[in-house]
Amino acid sequence: MLTLTLKNIPKELHVMLKDSAEKNRRSLNSEILVRLESDFAAPAVDSEAYAKELKTFAARLPRVEHARVARYRRQGRA
């Protein structure tokens, strides 16, 4: 097994990792390993394809009539 030493870890990050390890009933070392492994195992996201899908989805949404929304707000309905 190889050893890795982490330096200059922000205190807030250390506290979050420690809390997470405690909740998951793991050592701090095990928690860090699990998080690293899950990050590398996550599928890669094609951001261009995702953006295209999002634009297509947004284009299919109904248009908002801002005057109607403003009127509803004045009436206390939104």
- For residue 23, how many other CB atoms are within 10 A of its CB? 9
Q: Which residue, chain included where needed, has tokens 């050893």?
A: 3
Whether the predicted pLDDT of 78 surpasses 60: no
| Token pair belonging to 2 | 């190889």
**pTM of the predicted structure, to 2 decimals:** 0.55
Tell me if 64 sits within 8 A of 73, measured CB to CB.
no
How many separate helices (H) and strands (E) can be counted in the chain?
4, 0
Q: What are the domain boundaries of the chain?
A: 11-74
Whether the predicted pLDDT of 64 surpasses 80: yes
- What pLDDT does 77 receive? 66
What would the pLDDT profile of 15-47 be if each residue is shown by its tens digit?
999 999 999 999 999 999 999 999 999 888 899
Q: Which residue, chain included where needed, has tokens 């899950």?
A: 38
